[in-house]
Structure 1
Amino acid sequence: MARKSQDGANGALGQFYGYGIQEARFLHHLLRSRPGDTVALECLDDVSGGQNGSKFAEQVKSGLAHNPISDRSVDLWKTLANWLNGRRSGKIPAGTQFVLYVAQPYQGKIAQQLSDSVTRQDAHAAIAAIRKEFWGDAPNFDKRASVPETLAKHVDIVLSARENALVDIIQAFTLEQGIGAPYDEIRQEIACAPVGAENVEQILHQLTGWIRTTVFDRIEKRNPAVVSRDEFHEEYLAVVRKVDRSDTTLPSRATPPTPEAVQAEFLLEQMYLRQLHIIGAEQDVLYDAINTFLMAATDRTEWAKRGYIHRDSLVEYEAALKRAWTAKKMAVKVQMRGKPPEDFGAVLLASCLEASVPLQGKTVSTHFTPGSFHKLANALTIGWHPDFATLLERPGGIADAA
């Protein structure tokens, strides 16, 4: 009795897991959708809809208990038979793309062969090979009777179908294997968007909850469980604005450089370090300059790659830094009149490094503005010593200045 009860519980959990994967795929398709697309649950198929101008019908397999795409899997052949019947009845429109998604990274020779069949010739060849494997050589098909009944009823529908109808299905068929964790795939999809990595989990939970309540609402009102990309996108943006501080702050992706990286900067005799040498900067100032210079470089690359900022914004940002440097230089000139040029440079440097300049209207990390000033100094766009351009353009300028 206890054994039976446990088996029943495991079966119920397996069903729950299967429905959860359908929900995950539903959300995954919405995240990849474009304006005008729709995604549906349990309409044409487990998940279906219109995306990128074409319709798709997707069968979702959990693969929790067995490999659903093995060559003799009932799941595989039942899926193909259902698609054929759906096309034959008109329930599935012509031109529909067919997807078989299995959550686990399983392999299946026949499923992969069908998915790889790009041309009609490929499809005809695949059908002939599969028919021979299951039924044997025509016209006797002496292997046909040996196929188990539970499998044969689906295999027969597929292999007895009109050749062109089956070729149409195969040409429109794609096999997708997951990584064994569908929600991790969604996390990766969210992380590809311009949101802070620290907020991915909260965004996922918010969107999952919204999908569930929206689908329940549709079902309770006897409406199809269909969600448009536009209504989903509106919710997605609202969630991001609510939880993601990157709307106002650009999250740093940089870590402090290694001692080897710091030493390499000294060995390269970078121009921004030479700028500091000619104003007599102390060692801790040099080390801070290297740290901020390298970390700012990492952030610029990562923010642009992740879509946090537009590359044109960096040009505008550096122009703003140069204007700030020009204004501060004028103020320091009055303040330090009659003082040694090294002192002038030290005050100008300190004033610039304390500046707070937003990038694309957003607050940046404390190392980014100083590091960006050093980037400009490295290109001799700005400098700290009043005569930096002359001193550093002359061969041996540092030694002469010293």
Structure 2
Amino acid sequence: MSSATTVGSGSHSAVDAALGFYYQSLYGLLAIVKATEDDAAVCLERLDDVEIVLNGRSLLVQLKHSLSKKPAAVSVASVALWKTLRAWIEVLPKVSLDDMRFQLVTVAPLATGSVLSPLLDEMTSRAGLLSVLETEAHRVVNEHAEAKKNGRSPLPHVERLPGCLAYLALSNATREKLLSRVTIQPAANDINKIQRDITNALRHFPPDQRDLISQRLMEWWDLQIVYSFCAKRERFITRLEVQERLLEMAGELATDELLADYRFEVPPDDHSPPSMIATQLQLVNCTSFEIRSAQREEWKARSQRHKWMKERADMAARIHRYDEYLVLEWGDRHGPMAEEHQSATEDEKQAAGLEIFRWSFKQAHQEVDPFAKNWSASYYVRGSYQVLAVEKSVGWHPDFVTLLKGIA
């Protein structure tokens, strides 16, 4: 089963389907984050779009998503309603109705005074709605049959017909029992807003940490969903698992402890360093030993970056911000030097540029702020300056931008 998603009228692209599925995933995460029951658990695409277990009872959720600014209101004539009823009716032989509840969650509104209003409250009588649904189902079936008999084309109510037939096939007692367990949640937030809902639900964390924690939690959750489909883990993801992951992330943020994984590592024998490292350093007459050292530190820093980004969702943004900081620190030294050497000889320019490189390699890690509070390994700053040199975001020669123009 999958949630219906539309970006525009009549649009059913692969993008819409992907958004619909991701909406299911985020809705499941929001449900488990907001749950207070110890046994709370969530499963996707088993009996329904989302299956939520609370206090030993299952809630089967059908999700109808849309990015339309004004989705049509849900009514007794809505295709989404009858498709949902059909999906639930098909599940009935597999479950005990006494242990089940059902909910239609849609971003579409419910019109004021709608005959579906009793579904807003589980305790409200469904007697009138039962009669309305039966009348509508008979109308759909009869009009379709009459049109077919008279050879009309296209036939009416094609999308609603299976749901109406399935509903009418139920006994009156089963219809009544099913509907007593059905609720509707209209005007639900779409995929853009549900991410904010997850962030806001993390009330046990300081407000300034919630964005980062929710981002990392969603990254972890996405992986668990994939694993659940690939039989790498149990199908249900429990509230306990989510709480444990949140505690781990809180501890990581509290200490921000980062390990220097490559302090004692060296590049593998088959490593081929980016040619731009040597090209930049040769412009300022670096020694062969200095070039090899720079290449080694660049490998360390690049490897460390890759490991951090693979393990932690917040690292890409942190690394980017720190790179911008390193460029500013470099610019405060390279800019005045380049200005002072505009009329200098080439030898003087090379000597001045060599000093800038040697500052980046020997002194910068002691003078600039560390990447994290506990970080002390020199290779990250040394190597990051080489990563930036490869990208030509920094350079050593006063005229490196001009001299490297056109060189990849």
Cα distance in 2 between the residues matched to 1:83 and 1:144: 24
Q: Which residue of 2 aligns with 1:18?
A: 20
Q: Which residue of 1 aligns with 2:229?
A: 219
Q: How much has 1:57 moved relative to structure 2?
A: 0.8
Aligned in 2, Cα 1:159/1:230: closer, same or farther, shift over 3 Å? same
Q: How much has 1:105 moved relative to structure 2?
A: 4.7
Cα distance in 2 between the residues matched to 1:78 and 1:151: 7
Q: How much has 1:22 moved relative to structure 2?
A: 0.4
Q: How much has 1:74 moved relative to structure 2?
A: 1.8
Higher helix share: 1
Aligned counterpart for 1:232 among listed residues 222, 225, 242 = 242
For residues 42-79 of structure 1, the C-alpha deviation after alignment (integer angstroms, 9 at most, x for no partner) is 11211113113422111111133554833322221111
Cα distance in 2 between the residues matched to 1:151 and 1:18: 21
Aligned counterpart for 2:30 among listed residues 28, 31, 37 = 28
Identity of aligned residues (%): 18
Query: TM-score, normalised on structure 1?
Result: 0.51
- 1:179 correspondence with 2:177: no
RMSD across aligned positions (CA): 3.3
Q: Which residue of 2 aligns with 1:75?
A: 80
- Give the number of aligned pairs: 232
Residues 55 and 95 of structure 1 are in contact (CA less than 8 Å); yes or no, is this contact kept in structure 2? yes
Which stretches in structure 1 are left out of the alignment for 5+ residues? Answer: 1-5, 246-402
Q: Which residue of 1 aligns with 2:105?
A: 101
Cα distance in 2 between the residues matched to 1:224 and 1:238: 21
| One-letter amino acid matched to 1:24 | L
State the secondary structure of the residue aligned to 2:98: coil
State the secondary structure of the residue aligned to 1:236: helix
Matches for 1:201-350 after TM superposition, within 5 Å: 201-221=211-231, 224-243=234-253
Q: How much has 1:201 moved relative to structure 2?
A: 0.9
Cα distance in 2 between the residues matched to 1:159 and 1:7: 30
Residues 73 and 108 of structure 2 are in contact (CA less than 8 Å); yes or no, is this contact kept in structure 1? no
Cα distance in 1 between the residues matched to 2:90 and 2:38: 31
Q: Which residue of 1 aligns with 2:178?
A: 169
Cα distance in 1 between the residues matched to 2:122 and 2:32: 27
State the secondary structure of the residue aligned to 1:61: strand
Q: Which residue of 2 aligns with 1:189?
A: 201
Residues 36 and 229 of structure 1 are in contact (CA less than 8 Å); yes or no, is this contact kept in structure 2? yes
State the secondary structure of the residue aligned to 1:149: coil
Aligned counterpart for 1:54 among listed residues 35, 57, 78 = 57
Q: Which residue of 1 aligns with 2:40?
A: 37
Cα distance in 1 between the residues matched to 2:172 and 2:210: 47
Aligned counterpart for 2:168 among listed residues 134, 159, 162 = 159
Cα distance in 2 between the residues matched to 1:68 and 1:125: 20
State the secondary structure of the residue aligned to 2:58: strand
Aligned in 2, Cα 1:222/1:78: closer, same or farther, shift over 3 Å? farther
Query: TM-score, normalised on structure 2?
Result: 0.50
Residues 68 and 75 of structure 1 are in contact (CA less than 8 Å); yes or no, is this contact kept in structure 2? no
Aligned counterpart for 2:158 among listed residues 149, 152, 158 = 149
Q: How much has 1:219 moved relative to structure 2?
A: 2.3
Cα distance in 2 between the residues matched to 1:167 and 1:198: 49
Cα distance in 1 between the residues matched to 2:200 and 2:134: 40
Aligned in 2, Cα 1:32/1:117: closer, same or farther, shift over 3 Å? closer
Aligned in 2, Cα 1:19/1:53: closer, same or farther, shift over 3 Å? same
For residues 306-360 of structure 1, the C-alpha deviation after alignment (integer angstroms, 9 at most, x for no partner) is xxxxxxxxxxxxxxxxxxxxxxxxxxxxxxxxxxxxxxxxxxxxxxxxxxxxxxx
Which stretches in structure 2 are left out of the alignment for 5+ residues? Answer: 1-7, 148-155, 256-408
State the secondary structure of the residue aligned to 1:182: helix
| One-letter amino acid matched to 2:49 | D
Residues 97 and 178 of structure 2 are in contact (CA less than 8 Å); yes or no, is this contact kept in structure 1? no
Cα distance in 2 between the residues matched to 1:230 and 1:59: 24
- 1:86 correspondence with 2:113: no
Residues 134 and 143 of structure 1 are in contact (CA less than 8 Å); yes or no, is this contact kept in structure 2? no
